[in-house]
Amino acid sequence: MSVHPAIARVLERAARGQAVVAAAAAEGVHLAEGVELDAHHDGKPVCPVRPTWMIAGTPVFVAEEGIPASVASARRQSLARALGQPVCFLATNSWSAAAP
């Protein structure tokens, strides 16, 4: 799944250790914290979800580490489907994205 190049550059910088706020500012990308989104099931909102950051309208979460890759992938895909939009996950030294 591809994300907007500016968002990818912010996540690349953050994965290399730069603070996300500084990375977003350096790329001229809007960053918001404390945003709440509704997760949906069968077209109905079921619970609020609070991403760590919203970068240019894309929810970004801190990735769970130390769990099997297949479990992490399934959780990420499920979250993307529940939110109905692509989401990104920032881990130590890397990042990834999932689409609904």
For the cut 70, the answer to whether the pLDDT of residue 74 exceeds it is: yes
The gap from C-alpha 21 to its chain's centroid, in whole angstroms, comes to 14
Using CA atoms, how far residue 81 sits from 7, 23, 27, 76, in Å, is 20, 27, 28, 9
Mean pLDDT (the chain) is 93
What would the two tokens of residue 19 be?
A: 């603070």
Domain that holds residue 38: 5-98
pLDDT at 19: 96
pLDDT value for 1: 59
Which of 55, 45, 41, 46 minimizes the C-alpha distance to 88?
A: 55
The reported pLDDT for the residue numbered 69 is: 87
Which tokens sit at 64?
Answer: 């769970």
State percent of the chain over pLDDT 70: 99
What's the domain count of the chain? Answer: 1
